[in-house]
């Protein structure tokens, strides 16, 4: 699909902000949604709204079929072995909390370590702390590359799980997840991969990666907010206790004792966000229509162009220069505060993110308070990169 055709599917991009054409470069925070996803949401509420799995009537049956069809679609999209390994959640954060809570109740003994990377999002740090683990972070170089030799040294008899991000939301680094998994498995330790920044930008194959859990959010892959996925290998999911109790996750309930439902329903207590899951299916259709390899290729071109243009700015420092990078550009210019830069860019219609990006340990690693982050999606253009650089050149003399 050519870029103009892609862009025409995102009416939100065609607007003025503060009197300037919107240049949306905050895609690592959330991507915009194509019309097919937006229409699927309104169609769902206009024609289909019903609670799933338990109704005998037409709307409930139809809604259930559509919801379960998306489960199979997700299975194929990430190449899971079984559709019952796909659990719908509210997003990456809930997916990781689910694993941390259930896994720790099953396998933690009171003196437990979790290996994470030094570049984790807070949502892959705090749930493990809440579960009582001591975190052992894998250090990374100034370029933002994980030190795999140091990683090997972090394993101890107390290591229960490795939890790493596939792609850093701050540095853009694409981590060698298959290698990380192979090393962990040599120690008999399972691996959770945070795929929030991967699924919309790189082909995802959980079997090739070999990971035990894989978590992601629909809203970062052109889908609706408030829904996401926790993939878990069948054998492990069967071992874990449920995360939440309630309707749908049970087999039989008495006041004395409850037995649990089969996978994946054991982990889906209560009424899910059915319309949003159906919207996620349309988002996957959108990406498949272009092709994930083509998306990766277009974004790599944009990143290369944006990096070279940004390097023209005197005093610019880019954080994250790993050889294998996703389309994320974190930077500072001279002594300009990132928040001031972001606010001034917004006045010229350019939407970027500023701050620590929920990765405070990364900021501590570099000794900085935050960065400005421009992040790209398949609908972005080189003309937008030019507009972003021109805006930067205009605002810098003001600081």
Ligand X SMILES: Cc1ncc(COP(=O)(O)O)c(C=O)c1O
Contact mark string toward ligand X, 33..72, x via CB under 6 A: ----------------------------------------
- 383-388-390 Cα angle (round to 5): 95
311 is catalytic: no
Q: What is the DSSP letter of 359?
A: -
Q: Rule CB under 6 A: is residue 227 a binding residue for ligand X?
A: no
Nearer to ligand X, 63 or 200 (CB): 200
In whole angstroms, what is the distance from residue 259 CA to residue 124 CA?
30
**Counting contacts by CB under 6 A, is residue 354 touching ligand X?**
no
Determine the interface stretch with ligand X among 32-40, 89-97, 104-112, 176-184 (rule: CB under 6 A). Answer: 89-97
119: phi > 0 → left, psi -120 to 50 → alpha, else beta; which?
A: alpha
Give the one residue of 73, 97, 217, 371 binding ligand X; rule: CB under 6 A: 217
Choose, by CB under 6 A, the member of 73, 102, 165, 380 that binds ligand X. Answer: 165
Residue among 34 and 91 whose Cβ is closer to ligand X: 91
User: Residue 169 interacts with ligand X (CB under 6 A)?
Assistant: yes
Indicate the SS3 state at residue 130: helix
- Interaction between residue 201 and ligand X (CB under 6 A): no
* Cβ proximity to ligand X, 85 vs 194, nearer residue: 194
Near ligand X by CB under 6 A: residue from 183, 196, 263, 392: 196
Q: Is 85 in the site for ligand X (CB under 6 A)?
A: no
Rounded Cα–Cα distance for residues 334 and 70 (Å): 48
**R_g of the chain, CA atoms, integer Å:** 22
Which range in 173-181, 193-201, 263-271, 312-320 contacts ligand X by CB under 6 A? 193-201
Q: Are 356 and 325 in contact (CB under 8 A)?
A: no
Nearer to ligand X, 9 or 123 (CB): 123
Those residues whose C-beta lies under 8 Å from the C-beta of residue 274, and which sit 6 or more positions away, are 44, 49, 50, 51, 52, 63, 66, 67
* C-alpha span between 376 and 370 (Å, rounded): 19
Closest distance of CB 25 from ligand X, Å: 15
For residue 181, say if its preceding peptide bond is cis, omega within 30 degrees of 0: no
Residue among 211, 215, 311, 358 flagged as catalytic: 358
By CB under 6 A, the count of residues binding ligand X is: 13
Distances (CA, A) of 37 to 10, 275, 293, 323: 10, 10, 21, 34
Question: 73 or 165: whose CB is closer to ligand X?
Answer: 165
Piece in contact with ligand X (CB under 6 A), picked from 90-98, 248-256, 261-269, 368-376 = 90-98
Does residue 159 touch ligand X according to CB under 6 A?
no
3-state secondary structure of 355: strand
93 binds ligand X (CB under 6 A): yes
Q: Does 92 bind ligand X (CB under 6 A)?
A: yes
Buried b (16+ CB within 10 A) or exposed e, 94-132: bbbbbbbbbbbeeebeeebbbbbbbbbbebbbbbbeebe
So which residues are the catalytic ones?
Answer: 358
Residues that bind ligand X (CB under 6 A): 28, 91-93, 121, 123, 165, 169, 194, 196-197, 217, 358
């Amino acid at each position: 699909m050519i870029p103009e055709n892609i862009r025409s599917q995102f009416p939100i991009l065609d607007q003025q902000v503060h009197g300037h054409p919107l240049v949306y470069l905050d895609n690592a925070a959330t991507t915009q949604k194509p019309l097919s996803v937006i229409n699927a949401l309104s169609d769902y509420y206009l024609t289909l709204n019903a609670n799933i799995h338990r109704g005998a009537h037409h709307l409930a049956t139809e809604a259930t079929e559509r919801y379960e069809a998306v489960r199979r679609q997700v299975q194929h999209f990430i190449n899971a072995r079984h559709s019952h390994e796909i659990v719908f959640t509210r997003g990456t954060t809930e997916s990781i909390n689910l694993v941390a809570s259930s896994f720790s109740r099953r396998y933690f003994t009171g003196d437990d370590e979790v290996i994470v990377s030094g570049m984790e999002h807070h949502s892959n740090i705090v749930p493990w702390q809440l579960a009582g683990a001591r975190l052992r972070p894998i250090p990374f170089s100034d370029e933002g590359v994980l030190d795999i030799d140091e990683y090997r040294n972090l394993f101890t008899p107390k290591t229960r799980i490795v939890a790493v991000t596939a792609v850093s939301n701050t540095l853009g680094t694409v981590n060698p997840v298959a290698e990380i998994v192979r090393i962990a498995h040599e120690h008999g330790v399972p691996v959770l991969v945070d795929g929030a920044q991967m699924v919309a930008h790189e082909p995802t194959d959980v079997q090739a990666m070999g990971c035990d859990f894989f978590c992601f959010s629909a809203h970062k892959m052109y889908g609706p907010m408030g829904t996401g996925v926790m993939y878990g290998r069948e054998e492990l999911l069967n071992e874990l206790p449920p995360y939440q109790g309630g309707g749908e996750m049970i087999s039989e309930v008495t006041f004395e004792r409850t037995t649990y439902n089969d996978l994946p329903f054991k982990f889906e207590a209560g009424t899910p966000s059915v319309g949003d899951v159906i919207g996620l299916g349309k988002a996957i259709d959108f990406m498949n229509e272009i092709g994930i390899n083509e998306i990766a290729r277009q974004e790599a071109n944009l990143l290369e162009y944006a990096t070279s243009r940004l390097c023209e700015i005197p005093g610019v420092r880019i954080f994250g220069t790993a050889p294998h990078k996703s389309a994320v550009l974190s930077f500072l210019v001279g002594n300009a505060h990132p928040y001031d830069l972001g606010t001034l860019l917004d006045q010229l219609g350019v939407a970027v993110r500023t701050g620590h990006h929920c990765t405070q340990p990364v900021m501590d690693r570099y000794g900085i308070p935050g960065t400005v982050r421009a992040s790209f999606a398949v609908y972005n253009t080189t003309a937008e990169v030019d507009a972003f650089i021109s805006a930067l050149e205009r605002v810098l003399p003001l600081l």
